[in-house]
Amino acid sequence: MAVIMRRVFAILLVSFPAGPRLALSQAESSLVSLRIDPLLIAEAAEVWTLIAAPENRIWPGWNASDTPLLFYLPGEQDVLINHPRPPEGFVPYTGAVRFPGGRIFVRDGATIIDSDGQNTSRDVAGISTLVVADRLSNLRLNLRFKMRAWLENPRRPEEKAPGFAELATDPYDQLALVVHEAFHVFQGRAAPLKSANEMLLLYYPVLSVENNVGFAQEGAALASALRARDRATLRAGVVKWLALRQQRRSGLRSEAVAYEDGVEFGEGLAKYAEYRLFEVLQGSTPAPAMQWAQGFSGYGDLDLRRDRLIGRMVEHMRGEVPVNNDPYGAAPLRMRLYFSGMAIGALLDRLSQDWKRRILEPGTSLTGLAQEAVQASPSETRHALEEARRDSDYQALVVAKTQLGEAGRARIDAMVEEIEHGEGTGIVVDYAALEPPNAAMAFSPFGITVVDEDRTIFSQVPIKVRLAGGAEVVQRAPRPLLLDKRRKLVRFRLLRTLTREDVDRASGLQATAPDRVTGVALELPEFAFRAPRAQLRWEGKDLRIVLQPPEK
């Protein structure tokens, strides 16, 4: 299951001085039309009235009025709003759609982001910018993830076809998505060093039975506290959650705990901003443009929306949602931390006056602030933990997570076997001779599977690897890539089988001359490789690329 969420707003036009390249005639700019869904802009404008203001009720001190927005449809159009220095090729949009406080610029053709569903924040011409993919782009990404599940489903095609609800875009989710990604821009400015180091995932015991059982029980305790109607029930739920968390984390490495704290700060608080949005919007009057959104019914009662988020938190923390069709890798873990961070933030609203100021300070964590606010005694936490162990659901969770661990181990072993010995040509990059023998990588944290302390599989998106001395491996299509830190190997398997002639032609070398050390540049349909000094060797059906240090 792919997890996607986003939102939007509309009205005033504020002009910025145009640079020479933007000085178009009225006739030229009037020809610009929107290919992205204009309703995205209307939805973003709805949120902007709340967060682009001195008095931000979602998070005091956050004013998004100077945050640019980028909406994109891959390969079709970029729409850039509120950006003071649009990159080359953007032209002013002068049509009927407006955005409060920001001028709209459009560029057709190649887009800044060429992959689907990238709802994120990124640098655009030197400025951190909120990015929202067009609905069609999000839908196409979701369909790719769902396709495998449909193919493996034994039911008849007409029975497993998606319903309209699976294909529709929820306008409330769109609103939340804009808040989520805009909050990341604020975090990057207010606390740039506090988000998670994704490489710490390599130390995380994703299939640990004890850890997964503990997470599930934490989710139930957090839900109980969030739904509490009185102070005593609230405190009891928080104390139980803290007792479970302390016990669970006692079995984790410090790197794993740091990873949890980092993701709960980065993604968890952005998820909290979504939850808080539905509190702030409660009872307000929507802009007229919102009435055109399919499925929109106003803000009269948003309690159900918030309770739905709590329900999704419980499901994710129990591991009942196979994010990106992967129940065994890092994707489900990351989504648990989105929701646990959301829940802790919502609870701190009821427990601490100044937590939003303090969480931006170095060295603070959501867990630490909650512990400080509750001040639970050792006897309270001990009693809460004993009660959790007597819970009727505990043994069932142990059985379920044991089975998950066994199935996950078998799946990981099968993935390694496929990468090392499957069909198609294997590409093996040996960087042991380089100094330092390190690998820098571009990857998706949703596509990490830890094999053991030395080996990790990266998947979901095309991976890029940079090595010492200027060597680089760039996948052009997503294929599972295995990094072996002990043996200093990068390996993946192509869908096709290469011939020696294919490699000789692509490299301009004779790959059958294994003793030849030379600069190598391979340009092939599924990947590209460059290195100033390397040897190419055929080993059965695998192509081994042995990197060599610079000549002395």
**What would the two tokens of residue 161 be?**
């076809």
Per-residue confidence (pLDDT) for residue 428, from 0 to 100: 97
Report CA-CA distances (Å) from 172 to 47, 142, 168.
11, 18, 12
**pTM greater than 0.85 (yes/no):** yes
> CA 2, 8, 9: angle at the middle one, nearest 5?
175
Q: State both tokens at 62.
A: 């956050």
pLDDT tens digits, 460-495: 889 999 998 899 999 999 999 999 999 999 999 999
Residue 514 pLDDT: 58
Say whether the peptide bond before residue 436 is cis (omega within 30 degrees of 0).
yes
Residue 511: pLDDT over 80: no
- Mention every residue, 6+ apart, whose C-beta is less than 8 A from residue 522: 503, 506, 507, 528, 529, 530
| Sequence-ordered list of residues with C-beta below 8 angstroms from that of 5, at least 6 positions apart, any chain | 119, 173, 174, 176, 177, 180, 274
What is the band of 21 on the pLDDT scale with cuts at 50, 70, 90? very low
pLDDT tops 80 at residue 19: no
- Spatial strand order in the sheet of 104-108: 91-92, 104-108, 77-81, 69-73, 127-133, 120-124
CA distance 392 to 397: 10
Q: Rounded CA gap, 136 and 203, in Å?
A: 36
Q: How far apart are CA 456 and CA 464, in angstroms?
A: 15
Of 505, 504, 502, give the one whose Cα is nearest residue 494. 502
Half-sphere exposure of 392 (CA within 13 A, CB side): 0
Q: How many Cβ atoms sit within 10 Å of the Cβ of residue 247?
A: 18
pLDDT band at 326 (very low <50, low <70, confident <90, very high): confident
Identity of the residue numbered 87: P
Encode 340-360: b = buried (16+ Cβ within 10 Å), e = exposed.
Answer: bbbbbbbbbeebbeebbeebb
Question: Is 90 exceeded by the pLDDT of residue 151?
Answer: no
Q: What is the pLDDT of residue 394?
A: 93
* AA letter at 46: E
% of the chain surpassing 90 pLDDT: 73
Report whether 32 contacts 95 (CB < 8 A).
Answer: yes
Which of residues 295 and 164 earns the better pLDDT score? 295
Task: Decide if 336 contacts 329 (C-beta within 8 A).
Answer: no
Residue 289 in this model has a pLDDT that exceeds 70:
yes
Copy the structure tokens of residue 209: 């039975």
pLDDT for 32: 78
- C-alpha distances in Å from residue 62, one per residue of 81, 130, 189, 265, 278: 19, 14, 10, 16, 17
- Return d(Cα 141, Cα 167) in angstroms, integer: 11
What are the structure tokens assigned to 98, written together?
A: 């407006």
CA dist., res. 499 & res. 385, Å (int): 61
Confidence of residue 199 (pLDDT cuts 50, 70, 90): confident
Query: What is the average pLDDT value for the chain, to the nearest integer?
Result: 88
pLDDT tens, residue by residue, 395-434:
999 999 999 999 999 999 999 999 999 999 999 999 999 9
Q: Tell me what pLDDT residue 162 has.
A: 60
Per-residue pLDDT of 86-135, as tens digits, reads: 999 999 998 999 998 789 999 999 999 988 889 999 999 999 999 999 99
- 417, burial (CB in 10 Å: exposed 0-12, middle 13-18, buried 19+): exposed
Give the number of C-alpha atoms closer than 13 A to the C-alpha of residue 157, restricted to the C-beta side: 1
Tokens at 319, concatenated: 């591991």
Domain range annotation of the chain? 20-170, 198-403, 422-547
pLDDT at 328: 87
The three-state (H, E, C) secondary structure of 382-441, written as one string = HHHHHHHHCCCCHHHHHHHHHHHHHHHHHHHHHHHHHHHHCCCCEEEEECCCCCCCCEEE
- SS3 (DSSP) at 70: strand
Q: Is residue 43 a contact partner of residue 174, using CB atoms and an 8 Å limit?
A: yes
- Catalogue the E-assigned strands of 426-551: 426-430, 439-442, 448-450, 455-458, 464-467, 472-475, 481-484, 489-493, 518-523, 527-539, 542-547
Q: How many angstroms separate the CA atoms of 92 and 79, rounded?
A: 10
- In terms of DSSP bridges, do strands 426-430 and 542-547 run parallel, antiparallel, or are they unpaired? parallel
Please provide the DSSP assignment of 319-358 as one string: T-S-GGG-SSSHHHHHHHHHHHHHHHHHHHHHH-SSHHHH
Higher-pLDDT residue of 162, 362? 362
C-alpha separations of 67 from 43, 81, 185 in Å: 16, 9, 7
Q: Say yes or no to pLDDT of 513 above 70.
A: no
C-alpha dihedral, 94 to 5 to 256 to 355, nearest 10° = 80
CA 509 centroid distance within chain: 40
Is the pLDDT reported for residue 12 higher than 60?
A: no
Look at the block and give the residue holding tokens 């090729």: 89
What pLDDT is attached to residue 339? 98
